[in-house]
Amino acid sequence: MTYDINNKIILVTGANRGIGKVLVETFIERGAKKVYAAVRQVESVSPLVEKYGDKVVPIHIDLSNPQSIVAAAQTAQDVQVVVNNAGAFKGTTPLDSNAIASLEFEMNINVYGLIHMAQAFAPVLKANGGGVFVQLNSVVSMKTFPNFATYSASKAAAYSITQALRELLGEQGTIVLSVHPGPIATDMGDAAGLTEIAEPPSLVASGIIEALKNEDFHVFPDSMAKQIGGAYQSFAANVVEVNMSEG
Ligand SMILES: NC(=O)c1ccc[n+]([C@@H]2O[C@H](COP(=O)([O-])OP(=O)(O)OC[C@H]3O[C@@H](n4cnc5c(N)ncnc54)[C@H](OP(=O)(O)O)[C@@H]3O)[C@@H](O)[C@H]2O)c1
């Protein structure tokens, strides 16, 4: 099912900086009717409101606070496209003394936050004709980077949940996208020590829009992602995207 974001009502988590901010800007510039900029501090999207006026609607979501997600879904009843972009990163190896604490922190935001987002927004998307649910995963969902292994584990778990959502939300006509960037030039890219090889967040935005047109489930937007996506293509097509419960 090909999908055009033109004239659509979209919600983006983590909309105040990094990839999320560029997603908001790109969606509006590509014709979105309205974007709910979902953030922990609503004042943090004031620059976007100043730039785009009432096309940007600030809304409170803290992915570690399920009540905030439920409340946002009650407010944003007209949303047609949900992009769960917000994420948390700790540069922790499994051998670090704080490995378990880091993994718990990252799982809470990157995985439990995703589950709460899907639970709260699935009925809204259904009521609005199906729509789209986009999840920001990573190349580390497929390939662990040892220096941030706990983050990689959380993104692998998020990818696993995203695969389930593809089938389950597909039954109500919701398109699900799993986005797998490599190093992107944001605060998180810097924190991961990837500044030198990072590519612009605009690649993620155009990759999502292109995947919606092409009916792709996996999105590999930048150079490293495309390399991993190319190697992964056969497994994705013949295993991940096949419904194995049908004989
Ligand atoms: N940058 C990369 O190289 C890269 C590569 C692959 C995947 N990704 C993924 O892409 C997504 C965006 O990353 P980014 O690079 O743009 O990161 P970023 O620049 O560090 O921004 C992170 C965003 O997530 C928000 N956030 C953090 N914890 C939150 C919480 N508990 N509830 C709600 N929002 C929260 C932040 O809000 P505050 O301003 O309030 O902290 C911020 O808006 C993430 O899911 C990340 O894992 C990034």
Could you state, in order of their start, the residue ranges of all structural domains in the chain? 9-240
Q: Which of 167, 183, 143 is nearest to 217 (CA)?
A: 167
Report how far residue 29's alpha carbon sits from residue 71's, in angstroms, rounded to the nearest whole number: 28
Residues in the chain with pLDDT values less than 70: 246-247
pLDDT of residue 245: 78
Summarize pLDDT for 142-186 with one digit per residue, the tens: 999 999 999 999 999 999 999 999 999 999 999 999 999 999 999
How far apart are the CA of 113 and the centre of ligand 1, in A? 12
Task: Write out the DSSP string of 5-54.
Answer: -TT-EEEEESTTSHHHHHHHHHHHHTT-SEEEEEESSGGGGHHHHHHHGG
Contact 113, 84 (CB under 8 A): yes
Q: Which of 149, 241, 210, 224 is nearest to 180 (CA)?
A: 224
How far apart are the CA of 177 and the centre of ligand 1, in A? 17
Q: Which residues line ligand 1 (CB under 6 A)?
A: 13-14, 16-20, 39-41, 44, 61-64, 85-88, 109, 136, 138, 181, 183-184, 186-189, 194
Residue 183 DSSP class: S
Q: Which of 77, 73, 79, 103 is nearest to 91 (CA)?
A: 103
**Strand locations in 117-229, DSSP E?**
132-136, 175-179, 218-219
pLDDT of residue 247: 53
Quick one: which atom of ligand 1 is closest to the CA of 63?
Answer: 32
How far apart are the CA of 18 and the centre of ligand 1, in A? 7
Right CATH for 9-240 from 3.20.190.10, 3.40.220.10, 3.40.50.300, 3.40.50.720: 3.40.50.720
Cβ neighbours around 82 below 10 Å, total: 28
Quick one: which atom of ligand 1 is closest to the CA of 110?
Answer: 45
pLDDT of residue 243: 85
How far apart are the CA of 172 and the centre of ligand 1, in A? 28
Dihedral of CA atoms 56, 62, 67, 70 in degrees, nearest 10, equals: 40
How far apart are the CA of 16 and the centre of ligand 1, in A? 9
pTM beyond 0.95: yes
Tokens (6 digits) for 4:
């055009």
| Atom 36 in ligand 1: residue holding the nearest Cα | 14
